[in-house]
Amino acid sequence: MASENIIEEKKQGQALITNEVEGNTKKLFIESYGCQMNLNDSEIVASILAKEGFNTTHLLEEADLVLVNTCSIREKAEQTIRKRLQKYNRVKRINPDMKIGVLGCMAERLKTKFLEEEKMVDLVVGPDAYRDLPNLVKEVESGKDAINVILSKEETYGDVTPVRLNSNGVSAFISITRGCDNMCTFCVVPFTRGRERSRDPQSILEEAQDLWEKGYKEITLLGQNVDSYLWYGGGLKKDFKNASEIAKVTATDFSKLLEIVALAVPKMRIRFATSNPQDMSVDVLHSMAKFDNICNYIHLPVQTGSTRMLERMNRQHTREEYIELVDNIKRIIPECAISQDMITGFCGETEEDHQDTLSLMEYVKYDFGFMFAYSERPGTLAAKKFEDDVPLETKKRRLSEIINLQQKLSLYNMERFVGKTVEILIEGDSKKSSEHWMGRNSQNAVAVFPKGVEKIGDLVMVQVEDCTSATLLGKRVA
């Protein structure tokens, strides 16, 4: 029986192995770019390749196989990947036996271009083809190029236990859906990750329970659109106790899934991402309010505050419907934090549309957000139908105004905690000082406080004494 050892410290002259299986002789270096789904996919890939003799390493120079899990959501992300591939190929000149592969969304979008035109890689694998990696690696090792970018209507990797890469041992991701059926005109995801499908709730609960038994204290349920999760059929095992009773219904939607996970691991903090406004139901909000271990935080991308632009983006809701949802969140979960995704400068955006975005931000008072200037992505409906007609300087100016407003709103929300005592889950050392801990509260706000006798993974009460727009500052209280 092969033994497995998670090594947490880097020893002198030795690579940091994230996951070491006794008897494995080959080394895998894997990097992830883009969304949390990509990080989770990399953990699935590491698990699949561990059974093929690969341990993961943090040293590029010693790797037998180098994989980069890619993102196509913005042009800058693809440029970053190309620079990394150039770096890999420089190392390969020194170690010609090294094999290089591209995974994920960029692999799906560009397909054979990497192999035929640019000759930067040996291996190209799409998001639904990771089970085929053992065969593809063998082809590459025999001197052939290998590619599999076939999309699936069934694949969820529900039976694969991910290797927790670069884990802090406290928080982990659990994928509950894959793909996306929402054809937003700016987005490549439906074309690179395929149709939406939900994962068996039984496997989700087993993974959550396994993580709890391994000492994890927080999980994030992941999907391109978690609110559209739907699984027909019950049949959970009896050992899930109260969770099994809830799941006897014919169908499990996202609100029901939240409840059965909360019951199955009652001391585990539970988060989820990402929510789509058109699909989030009031039932989900009531499930959140019902269970203390479901965090008071919702990432609720809107992209724009203009109904006219929402229609152009093919978002299936209006500004008014979004505001109604936000009002329901604040009514049912008064302490809930809300974050946003915002795209400025989309095709045809006017100054009035931009002002609608700013006014929506003022209304919602987002806790934080992810804000970008629009960049046209080949293959999307927007690239085919619309002219990218907002000048770059206008995009930059509008983005700057959005970011500046969000910083003010973030500070406003952080100041609400000053003088209060909040529960913090310790994730690790502060980035700026090894004498301080860093953790998050239920609303996903980062807190920093001086170390005492606590340890990573502890839930502690912290009195907030001060803050910045990004960080709560305080001290632990008994």
> Residue 443 above 50 pLDDT?
yes
First to last CA, the chain: 46
Output the 3-class SS for 52-105. CCEEECCCHHHCCEEEEEECCCCHHHHHHHHHHHHHHHHHHHHCCCCEEEEEEH
Average pLDDT over residues 231-236: 71
Least confident of 247-251, 364-368, 378-382: 247-251
Q: Residue with structure tokens 């894959």? A: 178
Cβ(125)–Cβ(149) below 8 Å: yes
- Given the candidates 3.20.20.70, 3.30.750.200, 3.30.9.10, 2.120.10.80, the CATH classification of the domain at 298-415 is 3.30.750.200
Q: Do domains 298-415 and 421-476 have the same CATH topology?
A: no
The pair phi, psi for residue 335, each rounded to 5°, is -95, 10
Average pLDDT over residues 368-379: 93
Token readout for 151 is 């999309």
> Residue 19 above 80 pLDDT?
no
- Tens of pLDDT, residues 78-92: 888 889 999 999 999
Average pLDDT over residues 238-262: 75
Q: What is the pLDDT of residue 244?
A: 55
Reduced to 3 states, what is the DSSP secondary structure of residue 441?
coil
Reduced to 3 states, what is the DSSP secondary structure of residue 331?
helix
Token readout for 311 is 């229609």
> Residue 378 above 80 pLDDT?
yes
What number of other Cβ atoms are within 10 A of residue 16's Cβ? 14
DSSP state of 11: P
Question: What class has domain 168-295?
Answer: alpha beta
Average pLDDT over residues 9-17: 35
The domain locations on the chain are 4-148, 168-295, 298-415, 421-476
Provide the CA 239 distance to its chain's centre, in angstroms: 30
Cβ(321)–Cβ(360) below 8 Å: no
- Please provide the average confidence, as pLDDT, over all residues in the chain: 90
Give every strand in the sheet of 218-222, ordered side by side: 171-175, 218-222, 269-273
Helix ranges (H only) for 391-438 are 392-415
pLDDT band, very low/low/confident/very high, at 247 (cuts 50, 70, 90): low
Under CATH, which architecture does the 421-476 domain have? Beta Barrel (2.40)
pLDDT band, very low/low/confident/very high, at 334 (cuts 50, 70, 90): very high
Reduced to 3 states, what is the DSSP secondary structure of residue 148?
strand
pTM, rounded to two decimals = 0.89
> Residue 265 above 90 pLDDT?
yes
Q: What is the pLDDT of residue 248?
A: 58
Greatest Cα pair distance, the chain, in angstroms, is 66
Under CATH, which architecture does the 4-148 domain have? 3-Layer(aba) Sandwich (3.40)
Residue 438 pairs in a beta bridge with 428, 448
Contacts of 66 (CB under 8 A, 6+ apart): 28, 29, 30, 60, 88, 91, 98, 99, 100, 101
> Residue 1 above 50 pLDDT?
no
- Tens of pLDDT, residues 84-141: 999 999 999 999 999 999 998 888 888 887 777 667 899 999 999 999 999 999 999 9
The pair phi, psi for residue 475, each rounded to 5°, is -145, 150
Q: Residue with structure tokens 């940091």? A: 16
> Residue 10 above 50 pLDDT?
no
Q: What is the pLDDT of residue 109?
A: 84
Q: What is the pLDDT of residue 71?
A: 83
Least confident of 64-68, 181-185, 375-379, 406-410: 375-379
- Tens of pLDDT, residues 42-55: 999 999 999 999 99
Among 7-16, 63-72, 230-239, 289-298, name the most confident range. Answer: 289-298
